Structure 1
Amino acid sequence: MPDLVPAWRRQLKWFVLALAIIVADQLSKIYFNSHYQFGELREVIPGYFGFTLLYNPGAAFSFLAAAGGWQKFFFSALAFAVSGWLGWNLLRGRFACLMSVAAAFIMGGALGNVIDRLLYGHVIDFIQVHHYSDWYYPAFNLADSFICVGAVLMVLDSLRNPGK
């Protein structure tokens, strides 16, 4: 019996997941941007974990943060390009389930950070992890977390399905 649902409609769930990630990311950033002062740190587990409010004009680990502003457009264009490629492959049904989840995570996270760059000129970060004494892991946000988890899922999928 032929499948009556077009292939692209079966893939919409992944775009809904990406949109849910964007919404959760933006709501969390609105909360921290309105309830915290810049640089304020409230420790949840003293010495290990807390919430803060920091702005990152660069990319991961503040890469190119002091580059003069052009990086906002570069990282936004890169996020649109990667998200477009992933979205196109999702629509075409080229990914298995695990890779589709990974693509949705990366698209949602990347576009969540693009919204910050375009609205504010920087990304809002608020999760702070301490590792040792006064050494902190760079602050990050939900979008960053979804991008990282998505990348790990992509690696796992490539290990499970070599050659695809």
Structure 2
Amino acid sequence: MTEINKEGSARPSSGRAFLSRTEKTPRCTPFWRGITVPPLKAHIIFWSLLVLGFALDLWTKKAVFDFLEHQPNNRYSIINGFLQLVMMENIGAAFGIASGQRYLLAAFSIVALIVIFGIFLYSPTERKLIHVALGLFAAGVCGNLYDRLFNNRGAVRDFIDVVYWPGKHWPAFNVADSLLCIGVGLMIIACIFTDKSPPEHVQQQK
């Protein structure tokens, strides 16, 4: 449809102008379209670290607890006055937080795993350090989640005791806790020090 203005020239009708503006309106993109499929190397790194770390945590817990059952006072000194193995069960989170809240802590662990898997799907494929960090972190979460679900009273088995000052003991921890800390540290390093410039093929296209 064409309208005639006062000068006698033709111009598009307001209806067509409205349609053209409507056609240019961006549509919302479904969230699942933003999910990328990580390359094979990323899957190998992530899942290998998750499975190996999880298995290592469960094996060390069982092996150390079986060993300490036959030791005096269920303790064994590795470095006198600094490092020893102990039999401890923690029914809370780190530093005894949320003590006795077995299923609440298990739910938090499950949510954490979902978040980790989501980050893995959205993470840049070039950053292998992020995949390493996520794999270690997921292994640590799975290790402690297993204890919360299947161990007596939902207690997490800890056995590493460190004396950081004469008479001062750091809260006992396990391999899963170590994997969690290493994963967080690597993630911080990856976020701070990794080059954020686009890959070379993207720069060439520009």
Is TM-score (shorter-chain normalized) higher than 0.5?
yes
1:55 is aligned to 2:86: no
Match of 1:131 in 2: 164
Q: Which has the higher contact order (CA 8 A, sep 6+)?
A: 1
Match of 1:30 in 2: 62
Paired with 1:92 and 1:155, the residues of 2 have a C-alpha distance of 17
> CA distance change for structure 1 residues 8 and 89 in 2, over 3 Å: closer, same or farther?
farther
Instruction: State the identity %.
Output: 26
State how 1:70-85 maps to structure 2 within 5 Å.
Answer: 71-85=101-115
How far 1:147 moved relative to its partner? 0.1
Q: TM-score, normalised by structure 1?
A: 0.84
Pick from 150, 155, 161 the counterpart of residue 183 of structure 2. 150
After TM superposition, the structure 1 stretch with the greater mean CA deviation from structure 2, 88-97 or 131-140, is 88-97
Please tell me the root mean square deviation across aligned C-alpha atoms, in Å: 2.3
CA contact (8 A) 1:125 1:139 kept: yes
Unmatched 5+ residue regions in structure 2?
1-36, 198-206
How far 1:8 moved relative to its partner? 5.4
Paired with 2:40 and 2:107, the residues of 1 have a C-alpha distance of 27
Q: For residue 112 of structure 1, what is the amino acid of its counterpart?
A: G
Larger Rg: 2
Unmatched 5+ residue regions in structure 1?
1-5
1:19 is aligned to 2:71: no
CA contact (8 A) 1:11 1:91 kept: no
Paired with 1:19 and 1:119, the residues of 2 have a C-alpha distance of 18
CA contact (8 A) 1:76 1:114 kept: yes
Aligned length: 155
